[in-house]
A and B are shown apart, each in its own frame.
Chain A
Amino acid sequence: MKNKSADIIVIGGGVIGTSIAYELSKNSDLSVILVDTKKPGNATQASAGGLWAIGESVGLGCGVIFFKTLSKRKQEANGGGIEIERPHQLPPFFFDFCLKSNELFPNLWRELKDIGGVDFKLEKTGLKFLMYDDDDMAYAQNIYQSIPHLKDQMAWMDQQQLIADEPYANKNAIGALTFLKDDQVNPYLLMNAFRNASRVQGVEVVHGEVIDIEVVGNKVVGVKTTDTYISCDKVINAAGAWAPEIGKMVGVKIPVTPVKGQILLSEKMPKIMNSCFSTSDCYIAQKDNGEILIGSTTENKGFDTTNTFKELQGLARGATKAFPILKGMNCKRTWSGLRPGTPDEVPILGKVEGLEGYINACGHFRTGILTSAITSRMINDIIYDRPPEIDITPFLLSRFKNQLVTGYEIETV
């Protein structure tokens, strides 16, 4: 067993762990070790890479797809006559959390490129909610009216405008609601960019599985991996869907469950879309290299990361409906990722009562890529006992106090 020591250990090499390591590395007096464990289903690598600050907050992206599927199943079970359910919106503090994080990206892009040499491909795309019928229109109007303070970040588009702007989109679509600042990045390059920059600034990356965390009295003193013992002052749990296992080692119960999402990827294509798209059936994003990514389901299958044909087909049908030109194109890969889902869909950040030196940075569910930037700053503030720029209270684990929660509960029929 090797011995090492560090001021801070970050557990988790996904976008949250690497973003925190990067933020901490700005202080060269602090020694930081990042423990990276390979797990199939790692959400960062499976992600679409959308920075859909408003879109995600109002339930577009995966949310709206899931609720349509759910309504369909309910209709089938009850013999029709059930209205299409739509996802609920997240509370105002979550909007702020997402919007503030989104604003950080242009600077972050420059910084990370300068320091670590990785370009994570920030693209100004915007996100369009594509509408096919009155139902979609009513839903979009509902979204629009519920966030009057963000009107300057949204724009309506009628059929003509849509056809002019997106010539390959379904000609029968009646229009779109555009979220002007909901852009995209390449998710694994973002993670690489954070990691490289951290490295350059002195962070050590240790590969291995964390098997125990040592606590003396009520204070964390070290982390044991498969082959290394690292003594430390503080440990940050950024283990994504595996955060509960880490929490268990220090007696902290973390209500995070893996929420499976399936994704399809096309071969490289010439540019056929000028923005990202969300419909009631799927989301579609053409990435910087021309590949088109189609997601995603919301499933409770534990840590299973296999694909199922019916679900892939549902997504593919949604995508070919939105962009009929896709029919003649090839799908080259499919996969599944495990989102770290919490009961209220809000991440779990910050300290835990009665345990010194332990900090949560987990449960980022669908928005880990987007909110990695703000998360890392908030955690950095907590390390220095400064009040974070966004109030941490609604993110604390203690919000679940006296509640019986295990993680994100998927509604079923």
Chain B
Amino acid sequence: MKSHKEVTIIGAGPAGLSAAIQLSKYGVRSTIIDENPKIGGAIYKQPEKGLNTSLYRNEKTYKKAIALFEEFEKHKANVRLELESEVLGDFSLTGELGVLQRGKFRTISNEALIICAGCYERAQPFPGWTLPGIMSVGGIQLQVKCGSVKPGNKVALIGTGPLLLVAAKQLHMGGVEVVAVVESGKKKEIAKNALNLLANKKLLQEGIEYMRYLKKHKIPFYQGYGIVSAAGDERVEELTIAPYTDDWFPIKEKAFKIQVDCAGIGYGYIPRVQLTEMLTCEHTYEKSAGGVFPKLDKWQRTNIESIYTAGDNSGIYGADVAVLEGKLAALGYLIDIKEISEKEAEKIASPIYKEIHRLKKFQHTFEDYSGLKKGLMALPNADTIICRCENVKRNEIDKAISDGVKDLPSLKINTRVGMGDCQGKICGNFCKEYLAEKLDKLPENIQGLKPRFPMAAIPFESIIENE
């Protein structure tokens, strides 16, 4: 039997599962670590009793999920699944990762890692965004997927991207009144690239079906509109919506109000790169792929030996690309442990590359349409809270900038932005974009916050009890 480094896959979403399956096909065992109680990650999140009990089991994404789970089931003998386990950081001097599993802390080797950590939703501050009832679109969707509680009775979904449509349909199917779907992208930006859309007829078809669903159920759809502000006493009661200019500045004279008890806001995603940053992998920046993510070679290798990444943490391209990248990362590992030759791997990879190219091309079509624009930086008022943990307002950030702050670590020291309980996970990205905008720099040239152990809060009890 060949001996090789034991490989750990971080994340049981589409990329992680796909990597484990590919490894298993070559008889290579792996361990998957995931913070959720079930496999699937965020996109394929399962209700407590499994996907087959879901209201949405006949939806396209769910069919894909079920197929992936079924295949994973066949390979389960080669996979050790560690659920409800969260990676909290890297201890490079001892070559370990710290993992918190159901309150118990332990360390595991960091020797060979396929990191499939997914993404975060980008937080978009605007006046009133901290009111209860205002959530991220993804957050609303997770509630719907779990089938647990209704997020509200009158919901508006505002932002950009296909998830708005998906969430609208799911909410409506779940008996929630969807009062508006507000997409900030402009129709003309899609029309410009209409030919490229044909690159993926299936996805195009899916999009059209969602639009039909909205129409059929008389769910108002506003294109080229976006959020201005939210208001309410105890929780959100009213949203102000306005048409956006080409740069997404709200045209306030044309603003109008809608009554809601809940709103889902979705202005983009950010690759979850805290772990790869802690591991000191080299990163790169691409706005259309969500910002900063690890620099990879064609086998998903980072610049650090035996560390691979796949899925949205390597650039936001969604579940279908994630599955394919998971396969590539597994192939990369198989090459590196000499389980297969590079030539053999290339044969398997060739159609994968083609498919990834096609999917990415389709997505790039939406770059002009859905790509975040400058106007978003101007949404918060001077007294709008930006850092919700520390209650730091925009004017405090402005003052720090006028005092000479040029990067996030200094902004943090000066204003306490990012020092709170979330450690900048919520506001860090916006602050970076805001600094870039104010200093007339590219966001990639603004130094970000340094992730540290623990990447999520851990009880002291769990730290002291580990032996």
Contacts and interface: CB of A to CB of B under 8 A. Distances in A.
> Are A and B interaction partners?
yes
Given A268-B421, A309-B91, A335-B452, A192 B413 contact: yes
Contacts of B457: 267, 330-332
Interface stretch (B188-196, B296-304, B317-325, B458-466): B458-466
A327 B413 contact: no
Contacts, number: 86
Nearest to A332: B457
Contacts of B96: 309
Given A309-B107, A316-B463, A327-B459, A334 B93 contact: no
Interface centre among B93, B96, B407 (most CB of A within 10 A): B93
A171 interface: no
A313 B466 contact: yes
Interface string A267-282: 1100000000000000
B108 to A, nearest CB: 11
A333 B421 CA distance: 9
A266 B94 contact: no
Contacts of B404: 205, 207
Contact of A330 (B406, B410, B452, B458): B458
B205 interface: no
A304 B459 contact: no
B392 to A, nearest CB: 12
Contacts of A376: none
Contacts of A316: 460, 463-464
Contact of A331 (B413, B420, B460): B460
A162 interface: no
Nearest to A44: B413
Nearest to B90: A306
B234 interface: no
B409 interface: yes
A197 to B, nearest CB: 12
B461 A334 contact: no
A326 B463 CA distance: 11
A354 interface: no
Contacts of A264: 463
A267 B422 CA distance: 10
Contacts of A335: 452
Interface string A252-274: 00000000000010111000000
Interface string A290-321: 00000000000100101111101100110110
Interface residues of B, number: 32
Interface in B420-459: 420-421, 423, 447, 450, 452-454, 457-459
Contacts of B89: 307
A377 B93 CA distance: 41
Contacts of B459: 327-331
A196 interface: yes
Interface string A16-50: 00000000000000000000001010000100000
Contact of B460 (A38, A199, A329): A329
B414 A331 contact: no
B92 interface: yes
B464 A327 contact: yes
Contacts of B413: 45, 188, 191-192
A89 B10 CA distance: 49
B421 A266 contact: no
A331 B92 contact: no
A313 B420 CA distance: 22
B403 interface: yes
B105 to A, nearest CB: 8
A154 B407 CA distance: 44
A200 to B, nearest CB: 11
Interface in B328-376: none
A207 B4 CA distance: 47
Contact of A266 (B420, B447, B460): B460
A384 B94 CA distance: 51
Contacts of B406: 207
B5 to A, nearest CB: 21
Given A306-B92, A313-B466, A333-B454, 4 more contacts: A192-B413, A308-B91, A312-B453, A320-B461
Interface of B: 89, 91-94, 96, 98, 107, 403-404, 406-407, 409-410, 413-414, 420-421, 423, 447, 450, 452-454, 457-461, 463-464, 466
7 contacts: A306-B93, A309-B98, A310-B94, A316-B463, A316-B464, A328-B459, A331-B454
Interface of A: 38, 40, 45, 188, 191-192, 196, 199, 205, 207, 264, 266-268, 301, 304, 306-310, 312-313, 316-317, 319-320, 326-335
